[in-house]
Amino acid sequence: MKKKDTIPAGDNERIEEILDTSWRILKTRFIEGRYEISREAPFQHYFAHIISTIGDTYCITRSEKFMVDLEEKLELKNNNDEVKKNYIDITCGFSRGGKNSQKKTAIELKFKTKKQGASNDGKNNVFQDIERLEKTKSEPSFGQGRFYMITDHQAYVNKSTQGGLGSVFTTHDGAETQANHEFYYRESKSKHNVKVELKNPYLFEWEKIDKKSDKKEEWYFLELKV
């Protein structure tokens, strides 16, 4: 007999499949020119729309709805144990009979280009986003997090040879971070000189896809599970 092949019943398992499919669609439509993305806002808009559409097809009972929200406000403690307001780019999950899922997924996005420059600050921001997702995941209503990034700037993908902040907040292809590690560059001249603590280890594996336009464009895509 054939092995059973149906949609999984668990919320997290279904959301994983939804996000895998949605990410493939987003990348493909961007590379093929259906989506024009030049900053983070359209990235957020298009990706949320795809996630919502695919998510609806994964509702398996009459009482289920798949909900997607933008800029959900959460109050999280910072490293000084102070409660601060945070906004999550995208949240999604199943609701049943008016009751929200207790296993929502939090999603943070980054879209960085060569024109924007300031890659060191950008790397710092990547680590802050991951830290925010870890803290969000510890909330009772969240089960998992995802970080997605798109860039045409090789400074994020290649290993830093200049030292400094970029050698502490490492995002290059193949970079591995340690669990329960504090990241802090003490001599940074950045206005956002922050300390980041990550509980889990992460492996940065970039995907390079060429975009065909008037001239060849090299784009890099990153997904991290938190």
105-134 per-position pLDDT tens digit: 999 999 999 888 778 888 989 999 999 999
Q: Is the pLDDT of residue 90 over 80?
A: yes
**Mean of per-residue pLDDT scores for the chain:** 89
Q: Please tell me the predicted confidence (pLDDT) of residue 173.
A: 96
Residue with tokens 């600050």: 121
Q: Please tell me the predicted confidence (pLDDT) of residue 115.
A: 87
**Is residue 1 in a domain?**
no
Q: Please tell me the predicted confidence (pLDDT) of residue 19.
A: 98
**Is residue 66 in a domain?**
yes
Q: Please tell me the predicted confidence (pLDDT) of residue 117.
A: 72
Bridge partners of residue 222, in order along the sequence: 149
Domain that holds residue 156: 11-225
Question: For the chain, what is the domain count?
Answer: 1
Question: CA-to-CA distance for 82 and 47, rounded, in angstroms?
Answer: 32
**Is residue 22 in a domain?**
yes
Sign of CA dihedral 183, 185, 190, 194: positive
**Is residue 5 in a domain?**
no
**Is residue 182 in a domain?**
yes
Q: Please tell me the predicted confidence (pLDDT) of residue 98.
A: 65
Query: pTM (2 decimals)?
Result: 0.90
pLDDT tier for residue 191 given thresholds of 50, 70 and 90: low
Q: Is the pLDDT of residue 163 over 80?
A: no
Work out the widest C-alpha separation in the chain, in whole angstroms: 65
198-212 per-position pLDDT tens digit: 999 999 999 999 987
Judged on CB neighbours under 10 Å (0-12, 13-18, 19+), 70 is middle
Long-range contacts made by residues 197-200, C-beta under 8 angstroms, separation at least 24?
197/79, 197/131, 198/127, 198/130, 198/131, 198/134, 199/134, 200/134, 200/226
pLDDT tier for residue 81 given thresholds of 50, 70 and 90: low
Judged on CB neighbours under 10 Å (0-12, 13-18, 19+), 158 is middle
pLDDT tier for residue 136 given thresholds of 50, 70 and 90: very high
16-30 per-position pLDDT tens digit: 999 999 999 999 999
**Is residue 128 in a domain?**
yes
**Is residue 2 in a domain?**
no
Say which residue, 141 or 57, is predicted with more confidence. 57
Q: Which of 157, 125, 148 is nearest to 37 (CA)?
A: 148
**Is residue 164 in a domain?**
yes
Question: CA-to-CA distance for 37 and 22, rounded, in angstroms?
Answer: 16
